[in-house]
Homo-oligomer: A and B are copies of this chain.
Amino acid sequence: MPTEKKQLIVNLFEMACVSHITHGLWVLEGNNRHRTAELDYWLELAQVSEDAGFDAIFLADVIGAYDDFRDGPETALREGLQIPNLDPLSVIPAMAAVSRNVGFGATYSTSYEPPFAFARRAATLDHLTNGRFGWNIVTSYLSNAARNFGLAEQIEHDTRYRIADEYLEVLYKLWEGSWDDDAVLNDREHGVYSDPDKVRYINHHGEHFQVAGPHLVAPSRQRTPVLFQATGSAAGIEFAGRHAEVVFTGGRTAADYRANSGKILAAAAQEGRGTQAIKCIVQAGVIVGRTEEEAQRKWDLYRSRTSVDGIMAHGGFAIDPTAYSPDTTVHEILAREGKLDSPLASSTPPGTTAEALLDQLRAGRQERYFVVGTPKVVCDEIERWLDADGVDGINLRQYHSFGTARDFGELVVPELRRRGRIPQGYTAGETLRERIFGAGNSRLPQTHRAARYRLGANLGSLQPSG
């Protein structure tokens, strides 16, 4: 018997905005990104994604404008760079209405909104999607986001993670501890909907949050949505070890990737979750054509239309190299503007001119998880990511909506299926967590810290907290 080949998780990377991460390309012929505020965009996306067989549609988010570059939001606005940007949680029920299998991941921040309301919203989404919902935990990083939520400046990075830790404990108590599995009786004969002995207050009294409960929503199929996280920082990795089930990481080389994913898996092992608790996923660029030339033509087109302004605004560049003569060096500009402490100073080799920097941005940086070619070339490369690096899955970057998704579905998916790297099709009725961790795994495992609250264990007093 052959050993089973390592399987690939494939998510479509999305955001409810015009320009997410491929800046400037929204203008391409047939690109639908200008329609992301329309319902029909999302209905069509769900259909395309389900036709392609994607595991999930993964929605990024920010809750503020990119207004550091050129000291204002003007560039972001011109580029459609993540503004306008609709609420990602709201597009999921629309997509759920016209699909049965594809999963949904949405980004939501723990820094600014109360956990009780989010617990309810997420549980509602898990019900409406019939267990297809995942949550990408973020703590938010834009300074404008802080100012939108009443703060003069951002909460310090590690403090954000400490708040997030308590936020998650509140959610676990609500999702896992407040209602037992058999609390809903639905007993029409006796007119009893729920058994009150199996529902309880959580009475959370913490440093940052005070939450009484009970949770307003009865257990959904997954209870806790699949927990995604993107991280690289030490505090973030520690946090991932405690909470995350799928982590977005990356690396410019296989060794980079293995170092990053190794730290994450070690953090989970440290928490007693074993060495298989977390799947590591990378953002990938896949440009496929029926011929090598067709693929290359697409990539040339994308490169030629890439907006460097969009990249710089997204990156929060401390300086504007376009405002200087092309042969000025980046370090000269930084010095002149008193910004030698910016990350750009250390990431740019001395002597790099403004023009060279702009050319590099236009060309795209060297990436490990990027491939241009025929289905064979693409699938050979993806198999290297799986087998040589140990990658568990990809978040597919969209250069063209819905072109990228359709290309992947029509040209790459059949070949990956032939090679036994992805399932032959959906398993009807499985939850998102089952899709990722196997049949029977709709709930978080007993080794996850959320499990400690099950059946009401480790909660506060059962009396009202008021």
Which of A18, A86, A149, A220 has most B Cβ within 10 Å? A86
Q: Is the CB of A193 within 8 A of B79?
A: yes
- From residue 186 to 201 of chain A, which have CB atoms closer than 8 A to chain B? 186, 188-189, 191-196, 199
Q: Report whether B466 and A216 are in contact in the complex, using a CB–CB cutoff of 8 Å.
A: no
CB-contact partner of A78 in B113, B188, B192, B213, under 8 A: B192
Q: Which of B37, B39, B216 contacts A218 (CB 8 A)?
A: B37
Pick the contact of A216: B85, B93, B96, B97 (CB < 8 A): B85
CA–CA, A241 and B97, complex, Å: 38
**Cβ-neighbour of A128 out of B18, B39, B116 (below 8 A):** B39
Q: Which residue of B lies closest to A193 (CB)?
A: B80
A146 with B466: CB separation less than 8 A: yes
Whether A121 sits at the interface, judged by CB under 8 Å, is yes
Provide the A98-127 mask, 1 if CB < 8 A to any CB of B, else 0. 100000000000001110110011011101
Contact between A144 and B464, CB atoms less than 8 A apart? yes
**Which stretch of A204-212, A278-286, A316-324, A378-386 is in the interface?**
A204-212
Q: Is the beta-carbon distance between B97 and A217 smaller than 8 angstroms?
A: no
Q: A63-B117, A93-B91 are in contact. Are A130 and B216 (CB under 8 A)?
A: no
Answer yes or no: A450 CB below 8 A from chain B CBs: no
Q: Does residue A458 face the partner (Cβ distance < 8 Å to B)?
A: no
- Asked if A148 is at the interface (CB within 8 A of a chain B CB), the reply is yes
Q: Is A232 an interface residue (CB 8 A)?
A: no
**Stretch of A2-10, A19-27, A292-300, A359-367 that contacts chain B:** A19-27
Cβ of A217: which chain B residues have Cβ within 8 Å of it? 37, 84-86
A148→B211 contact, CB < 8 A:
yes
Given contacts A77-B194, A209-B150, A217-B37, contact A90 B466 (CB under 8 A): no
Residues of B within 8 A of A216 (CB): 63-65, 83-86
Interface flag for A387 (CB, 8 Å): no
A97/B63 in contact, CB under 8 A? no
Contact A116 B148 (CB under 8 A): yes
Interface size class of A (residues with CB under 8 A): 35 or more
Q: Does A152 contact B (CB under 8 A)?
A: yes
* A94-B193 contact given A37-B217, A112-B114, A210-B150, CB 8 Å threshold: no
Contacts of A152 in B (CB 8 A): 210, 466
Interface: A456 (CB within 8 A) = no
A91–B90 Cα distance when bound, in Å, is 9
**Chain A 34-52: CB-based contact to B (< 8 A → 1; otherwise 0):** 1001110011000000000
**How distant is A31 from chain B, measured CB to nearest CB, in Å?**
9
Q: Quick check: B124 and A90 within 8 Å, CB to CB? A: yes
Chain B nearest CB from A104 CB (Å) reads 12
The answer to the question of A407 belonging to the interface, with a C-beta cut-off of 8 Å to chain B, is no
Shortest distance between the CB of A428 and any CB in chain B (Å): 15
Instruction: Tell whether, in the assembled complex, residue B148 and residue A193 are in contact, meaning their CB atoms are under 8 Å apart.
Output: no
> What chain B residues lie within 8 Å of A83 (beta carbons)?
194, 214, 216
A214 to B148, CA, bound (A): 8
Beta-carbon contact of B127 and A78 below 8 Å: no
Any B CB within 8 A of the CB of A89: yes
A114 touches B116 (CB 8 A): no
Could you tell me if A116 and B38 are in contact, using CB atoms closer than 8 angstroms?
A: no
Interface residues of chain A, those whose CB is within 8 Å of chain B, are: 16, 18-19, 24, 26-27, 34, 37-39, 42-43, 63-65, 67, 72-75, 77-80, 83-87, 89-98, 112-114, 116-117, 120-121, 123-125, 127-130, 143-144, 146-153, 184, 186, 188-189, 191-196, 199, 209-214, 216-218, 220, 307, 464-466
Q: A39-B96, A84-B194, A84-B218 are in contact. List 17 more A-B contacts (CB 8 A).
A: A34-B193, A37-B127, A63-B116, A73-B214, A80-B193, A85-B217, A86-B124, A86-B127, A90-B90, A90-B125, A91-B128, A93-B97, A113-B113, A114-B149, A147-B211, A147-B465, A152-B466
